[in-house]
Amino acid sequence: MNKVVVTGLGVVSSIGTGKKAFWTNLIKGTNGLSKVERFDTSEYNRHIAGEIKNFSPLEYIPKSKIKFIGKAAQYAIAAVKHALVDANLSDLDFPAKKIGVFVGTTMTETSALDPSAENYINETWNKITSSQILNIFSGSIAQTIGSFFKFKGINFLMPTACAAGNYALGYAYDLIRRGEIDLAIVGGADSLSRVAFQGFQRLYAMAPEKCSPFDLERNGMMLGEGAGILILESEQSALRRKTGIYSEILGYGLSCDAHHMTIPNKHGISKALAKALKNSNLKPEQIDYISAHGTGTKQNDMNESAAVKEVLGEYAKKVSMSSIKSMLGHCMGAASAIEALTCCLVLEQGIMPPTINYNTPDPDCDIDCVPNKAGKKEVNIVINNGFAFGGNNCCVAFKKHTE
């Protein structure tokens, strides 16, 4: 079995595009949440989200193609370009049929659905364009990436919502480990739209002003958008190419709560985390940092904290566990991909991003959430938690690479 390593990172987010800008703002504790400008929210009860406001698709996509590519796929293409450069793959030397694309999403291309739905309701259906229809198809983001870059290997879209990026990582990890593909383009993408914004608001899960994971006074999540892409390949391939290696993926764990569509279950989360440790041959005392799912809702943060304490036991008190959703909002299908990318940078830099907006400790969340300021310590092994609607849970373990 091949060792699977991460060699490239690319990200588009509300706090920065590209690894350097993203990381600089992340460890500063930059708040990427602001008043929504993409559409009118005056009739809604909520008005703030992690909207990306300085992204220019023309930097990454020819003008003639932009109208055929949805916003989530635009973010994903930009993130792929950054990741390929970061992995020293500007000139791909892999057979196109051995390059796989594995992308997670929650809403697919709702940016295309918004105007289509409006035209349909107004009975002006003839104004709906063919590109809008094609972008709405569930696999459109992954297919667009494959077509744009001419990647001809496995092309797969993971629809497991907020844990989809982790699910994509797990599937790609298995295929590279077995030698079925040579290179994997892995991650997640979602874009902010009226459908997504109003949908989450109607679930009564959205906070009015800020996201405060693990804080006693937390009152909900905030919506975000963006894309995170990781380049995966075998260790042998990376060493042959003499490229940098961020981390080794040790394994992952999956579970399904089979409990409730939106409310997480402690036992399901515990199973995923325990399986990730078992499949990665890890003991609790080896874990240095956990990138929390940390949505800022009462139930999620309480159940996640309880599950971590159940699996890690007394050692849970020594593990740092922060939520970057406090800065980005919940980027839906891109969330666990961006958080996985963050895990790789934590291993490289030895710095843990903060959980901002933390003021009042919650006895049910008595963990080290790295409150308000970034933390520093030696980090060798990290876990990325990703939980989703329907109780779909996936935890992925990363290790600092040593030859």
pLDDT at 120 over 90: no
Q: What is the DSSP letter of 272?
A: H
Write out the two tokens for 314.
């007394």
Q: Same domain for 189 and 65?
A: yes
Specify the pTM: 0.94
Mean pLDDT of 41-64: 95
Q: Same domain for 231 and 256?
A: no
CA 191 – CA 189 distance, rounded (Å): 7
Domain residues for the domain of 347 are: 251-400
* Catalytic-labelled residue, pool 82, 293, 365, 394: 293
Residue type, 77: I
Q: 132 with 126: CB under 8 angstroms?
A: no
Mean pLDDT of 273-287: 98
What is the full DSSP assignment across 287-348?
--EEE----S-HHHHHHHHHHHHHHHGGGGGG-EEE-THHHH-B-GGGHHHHHHHHHHHHHH
Q: 264 with 304: CB under 8 angstroms?
A: yes
Residue type, 206: M
* Cβ count near 202 (within 10 Å): 11
403 CB contacts (<8 Å, ≥6 apart)?
A: 239
Of 241, 274, 297, which residue is a domain's last?
241
* Catalytic-labelled residue, pool 82, 330, 369, 395: 330
246: in domain:
no
Of 194, 220, 241, which residue is a domain's last?
241
Which pLDDT does position 325 carry in this prediction? 98
pLDDT at 142 over 60: yes
Q: Same domain for 219 and 190?
A: yes
Burial of 33 (0-12, 13-18, 19+ CB in 10 A): buried
* Catalytic-labelled residue, pool 82, 162, 343, 395: 162
Q: What Rg do the C-alpha atoms of the chain give, in angstroms? A: 20
Q: If you count DSSP H runs as helices and E runs as strands, how many of each does the chain have, helices first?
A: 13, 15
Give the model confidence (pLDDT) of 215-247 as tens digits. Answer: 999 999 999 999 999 999 999 999 999 999 999
Q: Does the annotation mark 211 as catalytic?
A: no
Q: Same domain for 152 and 182?
A: yes
Q: Does the annotation mark 293 as catalytic?
A: yes
How high does pLDDT run on average in the chain? 92
Give the model confidence (pLDDT) of 358-369 as tens digits. Answer: 999 999 999 999
Q: Same domain for 64 and 183?
A: yes
Mean pLDDT of 284-295: 98
Write out the two tokens for 289.
């940092």
Q: Same domain for 85 and 191?
A: yes
Of 241, 268, 302, which residue is a domain's last?
241
Q: 252 with 169: CB under 8 angstroms?
A: yes
Mean pLDDT of 314-336: 97
What is the full DSSP assignment across 206-260?
B-SS---TTBTT---B-BB-EEEEEEEEEHHHHHHHT----EEEEEEEEEE--S-
